[in-house]
A and B are shown apart, each in its own frame.
Chain A
């Protein structure tokens, strides 16, 4: 069977201490929270480290501050998906957390880990032996992108379900570095690059997520994947809509699984502002939202089809957010 490489496991007691350890060890070390994505990748030799810095000291509370809410980074995806406060105030976020992978992995995986989850590509998420046979790629051990060989960059796909939702909700991420804490908009956490996909400093630990509910804002997350469980998103739409009666006062749509970062689609957001939330308008907005999506042939099913499906996920998410009903929608998977 595939074995984990040997590594040292450090148990800091605080985020500051963890950050200091990371600063000292550099690229030899990585943080581990739930480990649900990290450990399989270590087995496949996608990361080469000799030390893991455990984040299990992190508290696991959801601080209900009414409209404002801080979710500790150590909160499991299961806990987040079931939390009454999150379901009431930020239903899209609870939905996204509940749609990550499978129940056992949600019981271990954390909301902080899901914000930082590595980008994916089916030329990269393979064993060492497979990658060696295929020829190593840009993201690990090689110098060419196997999906787009003429491209100078890596096109691995952002595959977090909760990150786009946190962005749509204008969330802020709380970071602890060796020299102090800071907060960043979640949107500023990511870069459009398959390799250097995070903009935070490698020494910084995500310690929490701050969500603030704007008045009359409703949210929804719709995920496309082949099966009813386990699978990463192959297209997803996170939307947060502020309603003034049946008029859309403001809207943020963020896509998952179609770019190297959670993809904002401001043209669609702009288009919806001040419009009535009727079917035709939502359809038009979905068309606008789908335009910048650029799925490539490095995830499940064909990228042509995934591109077409972006309309569908956006439309469904908008419909759920504006009417709070799933009505007669096509079942995208057994959710």
Chain B
């Protein structure tokens, strides 16, 4: 291959680093109005009245809207349409949008927001999982779900769990907590809308132009063909821009009312309120193992603090139980999950969506079991690894799997097995897996998940795809694949992406799906185009198509330009299309839509650190990480994604926490919400493992999320190695380490973490018969 596998710079790198990329906030068409949003100062309150008259009288204010102007509810999941762009009946967290102003400048809009008088009937806020499980003092946060403030309860059982525990040699139970945190993208959310000739156009910093398109159609009550959504240059999402957001709907409505462009860029504080970040999750896990360390059964319970709205929460809840089986062969498995509503900004998908929390619990839990049995934790985990081409007990299809090779690489490089044992120095190990795209769409439909069109004209190649490059490099991947097939360089391929008017659909940049799905669509479209170019060239050369060589800007005896002229003369307009629909591999049970993916990536990680007994401070020296990406279409981008994941995982492990005090976000600012700086980042050695997946484009799988997952548990495992104390919740702050050391010195359990898991009224589990383990047999089984 000529360009696939080469460490080429990103196609948009120079525009980004020279400031020429046009972000939504850079756009300022003539007569643009600026929008500010009035937000709730109360975590939980009924709205008695909203008086906007004083705001409307301020010179420069052109429109003021409230929930009465946008009453239709929306939400990312069809089952939880519980949000309003502006709430006029009830507010559910500090920051909930109530009214919006369009004015000639932002200061006037802000002053107008301050002039809006809202009367509230303040209700008791619900600020924790425990409080949400109890009967509410005043009223429930949402009017669905229940009992109390429970949003969703799920219970699934695969195989003979009781029997598995009965055969176990040892059974262990542990409780863990993973604190919530937020995405912290560099670019705040920003959107600008115009309304012309009865059509709305929205430019937005979003990961999901298609889902925004759908939500706008619903709330604005316009057909989708009257709305155009364009993804502006993107300054980072990490899952935080994967929902349709209030400000996106608001600027469209204000543009419709005023006939002028309207822009809204959130403040950093508002980004903390938009949130949709990592759910805080309390977890309980019970596992039985045989004498040889093989798992006989596992029972996993989760409780997710969801915040005030549904968002992706139902999916997040299932994800906290889905992928445990994708690294470890668990013959019998029960999962019970619960999501509660609290009066906080809604949680949603953040890099790893719902899976870093259980991964943290699972990895540490297995390590503790290994120590109970006197086994090497690495060895115990290895004995339980899944094998390629199998079905898991919960029906997930595993194809390529590089777990063993990932472990080999980090073990060899880090010297984990022969590490120096001294107090204050430790090494820790963990593995993980992640999806290469969700196998099912967010709303049920039979259409492809990604489509690519290619046009060739006068030697110029343009590829059209709805995929949104959020910095992960999806544009570069598209250009690389098209270039590879047509014998060109990525720079030769023009891209038109993420525009609902001009590009065919891609569902969006979430669940690590774009390389796999848009990549496969691009391969198909490019191969069709190549076939036309080759056929026309072969005819001219008087040879068989198979004799025509493609590469280095040439097709057979002709330059690419000449070949495109020959092909256009022969076929007319040169266009081709490709699409990708994931295989139907979901299991035969309710809830099986969360977890299946056409392929899974695998990671292994070793963390080396110093932890100080006196201060509790942890200083990470080095991280080794191996990631099975199937095939690196661009190894430079893969390394960037892996390092970025490690960075984000370290932030979560050591300092990031979205916490609240007196109903308010404690520190919605980039100064006080601590995320690591360059100086806090240790050296990272990345190993790319290539297992060449049979269904991925050129064998590629995901790269952007999976490598985050092993970092927090590996870090806690290393802290145990250094000081002999378990920190069973993250972030690992120095005061927690000192408290665990104090307990250890008093002869109490040498641990800091949640004391217990609360009683939760899970329903009786849906019992599911496991599939045949061998993939060929499983495929044959009726699904």
Contact = CB atoms under 8 A, between A and B. Distances in A.
B781 interface: no
A189 to B, nearest CB: 25
Given A133-B42, A304-B735, A330 B664 contact: no
Interface residues of A, number: 34
B265 A1 contact: yes
- A interface majority secondary structure: loop
B143 interface: no
Interface stretch (B599-607, B612-620, B719-727, B766-774): B612-620
B267 A305 contact: no
Contacts of A300: 672, 674
Interface stretch (B81-89, B164-172, B675-683): B675-683
A216 interface: no
Contacts of A305: 616, 734-735, 738
Contact of A133 (B110, B612, B664): B664
A125 B269 CA distance: 12
A312 B733 CA distance: 17
Contact of A301 (B267, B614, B671, B735): B735
A334 B679 contact: yes
Interface residues of B, number: 41
B680 A228 contact: yes
Among B106, B614, B666, the one with the most A-chain Cβ atoms within 10 Å of its Cβ is B614
Interface in B677-699: 677-680
A330 B612 contact: yes
Interface in B74-132: 94, 106-107, 110
Contacts of B733: 301-302
Contact of B674 (A5, A132, A226, A309): A226
Contacts of B655: 226-227
A133 B614 contact: no
A129 interface: yes
Contact of A1 (B39, B94, B267, B674): B267
A332 interface: yes
A133 B738 CA distance: 34
Interface in B390-429: none
Contacts of B610: 331
- B interface majority secondary structure: loop
B497 interface: no
Interface string A294-326: 000000111011001100100000000000000
A6 B108 CA distance: 12
A126 B265 CA distance: 19
A228 B679 CA distance: 5
Contacts of B671: 125, 230-231
A304 B676 CA distance: 23
A229 B679 contact: yes
A2 interface: yes
B41 A132 contact: yes
Nearest to B188: A1
Contact of B668 (A130, A226, A308, A309): A130
B666 A122 contact: yes
Contact of B41 (A102, A133, A229, A302): A133
A258 to B, nearest CB: 16
A334 B620 CA distance: 11
B559 interface: no
A129 B41 contact: yes
B667 interface: yes
B217 interface: no
B680 A312 contact: no
A300 B666 CA distance: 11
Contacts of A122: 666-667, 672
Nearest to B610: A331
Contacts, number: 88
Interface string A122-140: 1001110110111000000
Contacts of B39: 129
Contacts of A125: 669, 671-672
A9 B610 CA distance: 50
Contacts of B678: 228-229
A129 to B, nearest CB: 7
Given A1-B267, A130-B269, A133-B41, A330 B680 contact: no
Interface in B586-627: 610, 612, 614-617, 619
Contacts of A333: 679-680
Given A230-B671, A300-B672, A330 B617 contact: yes
A330 B615 contact: yes
B662 interface: yes
Contacts of B110: 3
Contact of B664 (A2, A134, A331, A332): A134
Contacts of A6: 107
Contacts of B267: 1-2, 127
Nearest to B679: A228
Nearest to A126: B669
A1 B40 CA distance: 18
Nearest to B41: A133
B679 A312 contact: no
Among B619, B677, B733, the one with the most A-chain Cβ atoms within 10 Å of its Cβ is B677
A192 to B, nearest CB: 24
Contact of A129 (B107, B269, B674, B738): B269
Interface in A1-52: 1-3, 5-6
A228 B677 contact: yes
Contacts of B668: 126, 130
Nearest to B106: A3
Contacts of B41: 129, 132-133
B735 A302 contact: yes
Interface string A218-234: 00000000111111000
Contacts of B664: 130, 133-134
Nearest to B269: A127
A309 B735 CA distance: 10
Nearest to A312: B615
Interface in A216-273: 226-231
A134 B94 CA distance: 10
Contacts of B269: 127, 129-130
A229 B615 contact: no
Among A122, A226, A333, the one with the most B-chain Cβ atoms within 10 Å of its Cβ is A226
Interface string A167-189: 00000000000000000000000
A129 B678 CA distance: 31
Given A134-B664, A312-B614, A227 B677 contact: yes
A125 B666 CA distance: 11
Interface in B701-760: 733-735, 738
B615 A309 contact: yes
B186 to A, nearest CB: 13
Interface string B196-239: 00000000000000000000000000000000000000000000
A227 B619 CA distance: 11
Nearest to B42: A133
A9 to B, nearest CB: 17
A139 B677 CA distance: 31
B617 A332 contact: yes
A112 to B, nearest CB: 22
B107 A133 contact: no
Nearest to B39: A129
7 contacts: A1-B25, A1-B267, A122-B667, A130-B668, A132-B41, A330-B614, A330-B615
7 interchain residue pairs of minimum CB distance: A228-B679, A133-B41, A334-B679, A305-B735, A330-B612, A229-B677, A302-B735
Given A129-B39, A229-B679, 10 more contacts: A1-B106, A2-B267, A2-B268, A127-B267, A134-B662, A227-B677, A228-B679, A230-B677, A301-B734, A332-B617
